[in-house]
Amino acid sequence: MTGNRPRAPHRSTAQRRGDMLREVLAGNGDIAELAARFEVSVSTVRRDLQQLAEDGHIHRTYGGAVAGEHTVERTLDQKESGNRVQKEAIAQLAAAWVADGDVVLIDAGTTTGRLARHLRSRDGLTVITNSTTALRHLADAPGVELIVLGGRVRRPNGAILGPAGEDMLRRITPDRVFLGADGVHARDGLSCPSLEQAHAKELMARRGREVCVLADATKLGTSPFPYHALPERPWTLLTDAGADPGAVRAFTATELCTVVTA
C-alpha cells in the first residue's frame, strides 16, 4: 500500500533534470532531498546531477550540487555530448522552417551546428555564419552559397568574432536568424561567455526578419555567464518537449517571445 500520498506526475528525464537544475540554482542541492522531491532513487539523482555538471550548469559536491558563481565554459566536444536527442529534434524543427532560396544566418553553437548539417542537401540556399561547426558542415554543400563572417576564432566555442564580421552584418538582412545560447532567461535574454559575443548576438537579432533561439529545456531559466544578449524585437524560442510549463510561461509572458517545442 502506498497510503494516501499523491504520486508526482510522470515526467521525462529531460523534464526532471530541468526541474532539478532549477532546484539546485535555488540552493536546494542535497541529494536525499532531491530524491524525495522527485520520488526517484538516490542513484538516479546522482546521474542527473552528474549530467547537469557535465553540461556546465552546476558544480558537484560530496552530498549533492551547487550553482557556481560562474560556470566554466566547456569545449564544443563537451557540449555535444549532452542532450543529443533533444538537440537533434530542435535542429530538425529549425530546418523545417527554412525554405530553399532563403538567406539564413546561423550562429555558433552545437544545436545550430546540427541545423547546418541538416541544410547540406538544400538547393539555392544562402547561409551566412560565424560558426566553425557550420562552416565544416556546409563548406562542400553544392546547393548552398556559404558566406563566412570575418574575425578571429574564439575558443572553446568556435565562434568567429570581431569588427570585420560586425561590419558585414550591418550590410545584410537575412530571412531567418538562428541563435545558439548557453542559457536563456526570460528577463535577461541569452547568456553569453563574453561581452563581445553578447554584442554579436544582439546585432544578429537586429538584422534578421525572423529570429529564432535554439535551446534545449535544461537551458531555460538559466544564466551560467554574466553577459547577456536580449532581442529587442519579437523572437521565437525553439526548445524540446521536456520544457517545464512554468519556464515556458515565463518566456511567453514577455509578449516578445513565442515558444515552439520539438
pLDDT-derived band at 68 (thresholds 50, 70, 90) equals: low
pLDDT at 3: 44
Angle formed by the axes of helices 13-25 and 42-54, nearest 10°: 80
pLDDT at 108: 96
Residues 44 and 24 in one domain: yes
Number of folded domains that form the chain:
2
Owning domain of residue 96: 77-261
Q: Can you tell me the mean pLDDT for 138-151?
A: 97
pLDDT at 56: 66
Among 47, 66, 85, which residue terminates a domain? 66
Among 66, 87, 102, which residue terminates a domain? 66
pLDDT at 226: 84
Residues 38 and 148 in one domain: no
Q: Can you tell me the mean pLDDT for 48-77?
A: 70
173: left (phi over 0), alpha (psi -120 to 50) or beta: beta
* Helix, coil or strand: residue 85: helix
Give the percent of the chain with pLDDT over 70.
88
Q: Can you tell me the mean pLDDT for 24-30?
A: 79
Residues 61 and 81 in one domain: no
pLDDT-derived band at 5 (thresholds 50, 70, 90) equals: very low
pLDDT at 105: 98
Choice between 90 and 3, residue whose per-residue pLDDT is larger: 90
pLDDT at 197: 93
Residue 75 pLDDT more than 70? no
φ, ψ of residue 115 in degrees (nearest 5): -60, -45
- Name the grid cell of 200: 554579436
Q: How far apart (Å, rounded) are the C-alpha atoms in residues 86 and 71?
A: 22
Residue 17 pLDDT more than 50? yes
Q: Contact 108/132 with Cβ under 8 angstroms?
A: yes
pLDDT at 65: 77
Q: Can you tell me the mean pLDDT for 229-257?
A: 94
Averaged pLDDT of the chain: 88
pLDDT at 51: 82
Q: How far apart (Å, rounded) are the C-alpha atoms in residues 131 and 135?
A: 6
Residues 60 and 97 in one domain: no
Preceding peptide of 156 cis, ω within 30°:
yes
Residues 221 and 187 in one domain: yes
Residue with cell 546521474: 47
Beta bridge partners of 106: 129, 178
Q: How far apart (Å, rounded) are the C-alpha atoms in residues 127 and 86?
A: 23
